[in-house]
A and B are shown apart, each in its own frame.
Chain A
Amino acid sequence: MSAYAFLVRGRGSDLVAMTAAQALRSHFTREGELVSLQRDEVHLLEGVEGSDPGEWTDACTAHAHWFNPNKHRFALVEAASGGIQAARRASPWPSPWLEMRLHTDRPDILSTDHRRDALTEWLGLEENPETTAVCLAVWEHHRDDGGLPAGPWPRPQAQYLPLVLWTLVLRGRDVTAAMARAEELAITRHRRQGLLVHPHMQGWAVFTPPQRVSGAGRIQSP
């Protein structure tokens, strides 16, 4: 089964991410520990064999599904399949997950090396030997049937899962420690611990964007 993913981010300032970063810095982190916090949307499509990625982009832009090109940047990338199953059955998240750029309104991230990691370039994180980037893909439990919303889709029977992708850049180079710390900051288990994910209504997978750090591509999920 093949899969696509739309990566989407607003063109303006992300006030949600800014507010969340401010709350984390005010209440939960040491000074300078949280270098940055980004939020992206990921619209994951599985069961799209044989369909042209351009058709998916056209369907989205024509009917304002998930993004509006006037307000959002977007890219449609090829994804490893298995993410939706992982979300539903708590099985391991596919790794590597997002690989190849297909359609985007950001020619600046296009590369002649199509096998390079799409997520790393999409996130646009600056190289910094003193920091580690950690991503959390977050989905809601108890969604309805997992099907597409009504619309003229190239593959109407494709499975669909919307995700929020939080990217925390943390001070320090220990990848294992950074992943554990990112989960601690993100998962709301206590009033004084965690903000971005509610474990009673959401599932998540935590991973480091490939190519950024040693031990790249390791993925953990609860």
Chain B
Amino acid sequence: MTQLRIAVLQFPGLNCEEETLRVLRFAGLDSALVRWNEDPTRLRDFAGFVIPGGFSYQDRVRAGAIASKSPLIEGLVREAESGKPVLGICNGAQILVESGLVPGREAGRVDVAMTRNRVPHREGYKSGWVHVRAGRQTNCFFTEGLDEVFPIVVGHAEGRFLTQDPELIDRLADPDRRAAYYCHPDGRVAEDYPANPNGSAGGVAGLEGLDGQVLAFMPHPERAAWLWQVPEDIEGPWGERRAAAVARGNIADAPGPGLALVQAFCRLRGVGGS
């Protein structure tokens, strides 16, 4: 079988590229790093793209703002508009929002901000495990078929989706029209901290762009791609799966809850991906 090639884009200050490459390989995907100062036409050689997490350009001006203006992102926009999927994780999500690829209803227009977390009695960076669920009425390439609550890691200080666009506000009022939202282990939308780690209205954790092939996703699937990464005491079926795998002695290579988002790229094999 021909392996799909997925590019991981790197900008100065991103710091999750190695883990992201490792998870793509775990999913059976050929992957390579493309750096910010390389020729953007190199992106033509890839079937899909990931922008990993970190702090591009030290979050100068705003998280993701400087990277979003780069020639490499212009190249990425061309590839995305040709239909190739793009996953932005954490700072990658912020770059996609700043680039106008998400929500991308009008080419290049910036309709959403990722602003600082707002939860009672605390400020700044929040890191930890939360539960997330995919909306059931979106056309998001990455969350298609994901119908269960899954635990995943967040680590950010500016993860609150904010827009003044009435049409988008209206759309996001329905949980099932959000690509992903923070929830309680039983699936209820999480409006309050700590289940909702950043105060995002409606618990929005991910927002899709263009025709669904682009996803800005604040949690880190690469930190939950193996079952051994899941905490022992996590509530819900994933904790039970972990305990069962430990009892069977086969936890080392067991897939974790975050792998499914990355495995979505594998579906490109069925639609002529290179």
- A108 contacts the other chain (CB 8 A): no
**B14 on interface, CB distance cutoff 8 Å:** no
Quick check: A19 and B100 within 8 Å, CB to CB?
Answer: no
A200-B162 contact, Cβ under 8 Å, with A19-B66, A23-B69, A191-B100: yes
- In the bound assembly, the distance between CA atoms of A141 and B115 in angstroms comes to 10
| B57 in the interface (beta carbon within 8 A) | yes
CB of A173 to closest CB in B, whole Å: 28
User: What residues on A are CB-neighbors of B65 within 8 Å?
Assistant: 188, 195, 198
Specify the main secondary structure of chain B where it touches its partner.
loop
Count residues on chain A whose CB falls below 8 Å from chain B CBs: 24
B100 contacts across to A, CB distance below 8 A: 190-191
Number of A-B residue pairs having CB atoms within 8 Å of each other in the complex: 67
Interface centre among A141, A189, A200, A202 (most CB of B within 10 A): A200
Q: Does B61 count as interface, using CB distance less than 8 angstroms?
A: yes
List residues of A (57-79) whose CB comes within 8 Å of B's CBs. Answer: none
The reply to whether the CB of A201 lies closer than 8 angstroms to some CB of chain B is yes
Decide if B60 touches A15 in the complex (CB within 8 Å).
Answer: yes
Residues of chain A lying within 8 A (CB to CB) of residue B111: 200
Q: Is the CB of A140 within 8 A of B115?
A: yes
- Do A191 and B118 touch (CB < 8 A)? no
Q: Is B164 an interface residue (CB 8 A)?
A: yes
With both chains docked as a complex, state the minimum distance between the C-beta of A87 and any C-beta of chain B, in angstroms: 15
Set of chain B residues within 8 Å of A140, measured between Cβ atoms:
115-116
Q: How many B residues, CB 8 Å from partner?
A: 27
Report yes or no: A23 in contact with B98, Cβ–Cβ below 8 A.
no
Give which listed residue, B61, B77, B108, B109, contacts A19 with CB less than 8 A: B61
Contact B110 A200 (CB under 8 A): yes
With A15-B60, A16-B60, A195-B69 as contacts: A200 and B118 at CB distance below 8 Å: no
Binary interface encoding of chain B residues 96-118 relative to chain A, with 1 for a CB under 8 A from any of its CBs, else 0: 00111000000011111101101
A196 to B65, CA, bound (A): 9
Residues of chain B contacted by A16 (CB below 8 angstroms): 60-61
Interface residue? A199 (CB, 8 A): yes
Measured CB to CB, the nearest residue on chain B to A28 is: B69
Cα distance A151–B57 in the bound complex, in angstroms: 33
Q: Is the CB of A142 within 8 A of B162?
A: yes
A-B contact pairs, 7 of them (CB 8 A): A191-B69, A196-B61, A198-B113, A200-B111, A200-B113, A200-B163, A200-B165
Name B's A-contacting residues (CB within 8 A). 57-58, 60-62, 65-66, 68-69, 73, 77, 98-100, 108-113, 115-116, 118, 162-165
Known contacts A15-B58, A20-B61, A191-B68, then 18 further A-B pairs from the complex at CB < 8 Å, ordered by chain A residue: A19-B61, A20-B60, A20-B66, A23-B69, A140-B115, A142-B118, A144-B118, A188-B110, A189-B109, A190-B100, A190-B110, A194-B110, A198-B62, A198-B65, A198-B115, A200-B110, A200-B112, A200-B162
